Amino acid sequence: MHSLSRRVASRLAALSAAPLGACLSALALAAACLPATATAAFPDKPIRIVVPFSPGGGTDLIARTIGVAMSQDLGQPVVVDNKPGGGTIIGTDNVAKSAPDGYTLVMATFAHAVNPSLQPKLPYATDKAFAPVVLVGRSPNVLVVRPDSPYQTVQDLIAAARANPGKISFASQGPGTSAHLAGELFKSLAKVNLNHIPYRGAGPAITDLLGGQVDLMFATASAVGNLLESGKLRALGVTSAQRSTSPDLARVPTIAESGVPGYVAESWYGLFAPAGTPAPVIARLNAAARKAVATDAFRKRADAEGLIVSPGTPEAFGRYVRGEQARWSQVVKDAKITIN
């Protein structure tokens, strides 16, 4: 270290006789010689997680829970910034256009993988604008109705929908979200016509479901877990290939086994950073998130809501999302699904 300092000092001492251009070059060289520890370690200020939904929904709750645990490991506050609208596009675009320094992340969902198929003019290139950080977890959606609903089973719903085409409504937290596409896939495979009512987030959608303004919802398990436990909503089926391991959902049949063969739709949560974020920063965020999902507080929420916690490497998350994007692109094409 002392020899490095003497070399830099000697080089700087010669600058007085050198032309301005040479001086600037030498100064740049001297700066490059400084040890890496001279720069501030990441993070040195609060980190923002953008949630592209309204407060109170499943994505919001997951982001807030993981944010608290990540802040403890990172030593900086992790704050949630709700930016709903546009089927998650408004909030996601905000992150795409943010500085690639690790201080702005998006809590992405199923919509991140399907929007390219549904939105021909996205303001960002999904495959190029983001760097994967970590897959937080996966979970089924749950087909839910009010306790006083006349539909006791999935078959009851199918029969009623066929007898009254277009008169039964289903809510979603926005166009292109898992609740929307799960409903559209149900319509296609069950050969029924349901009326889609989009909202700006799961919170408003569930409020109207409870109030009787809509008939049902293919909600994320995280958004309705407490309502199912309290009896304010009733589950008819889960959208996963196998039954849920959650205690509250273990006895709920899958929609596929309830008379809609081949039906599978899965929600997921994962963190992305803007493309160009340095690899060491991505690695630090990945490590903090993996520690966070292992905490008792996060595990408790995940277990109650049927979330399969499955963090891995950024590369593994990237592969998973690319696979989801390809699968749903085909579903959208085959079923001629649009959001208009």
End-to-end CA distance of the chain: 65
266: nearest Cα among 298, 304, 299, 307: 307
Number of Cβ atoms within 10 Å of the Cβ of 159: 13
327: nearest Cα among 128, 116, 57: 116
Domain 47-139+269-335 and domain 140-266 have a common topology: yes
- Sign of torsion, CA 207 211 214 216? positive
- pLDDT for 258: 96
Q: What are 107's two structure tokens?
A: 């809590």
- pLDDT for 300: 86
pLDDT in tens, 40-83: 699 999 999 999 998 987 789 899 999 999 999 999 999 999 99
Do residues 322 and 128 lie in contact, with contact meaning Cβ atoms separated by under 8 Å?
Answer: no
- pLDDT for 305: 67
DSSP 3-state assignment of 122?
Answer: coil
- pLDDT for 21: 45
Q: What's domain 140-266's architecture?
A: 3-Layer(aba) Sandwich (3.40)
**Cα separation values, 11 from 3, 25, 39, Å:** 12, 11, 22
Render each residue's pLDDT in the chain as its tens digit; 340 residues. Answer: 444 444 444 444 444 444 544 444 443 444 444 444 333 699 999 999 999 998 987 789 899 999 999 999 999 999 999 999 888 999 999 999 999 999 999 999 988 999 999 888 899 999 999 999 999 998 889 999 999 999 999 999 999 999 999 999 999 988 778 888 899 899 989 999 999 999 988 889 999 999 999 999 999 887 888 899 899 999 999 999 888 877 778 899 999 999 999 999 988 999 999 999 999 999 999 999 999 999 999 998 887 667 889 899 999 999 999 999 998 898 788 777 776 6
CATH superfamily placement of domain 47-139+269-335: Bordetella uptake gene, domain 1 (3.40.190.150)
Q: How far apart are CA 197 and CA 187, in angstroms?
A: 14
Domain ranges across the chain = 47-139+269-335, 140-266
- pLDDT for 31: 40
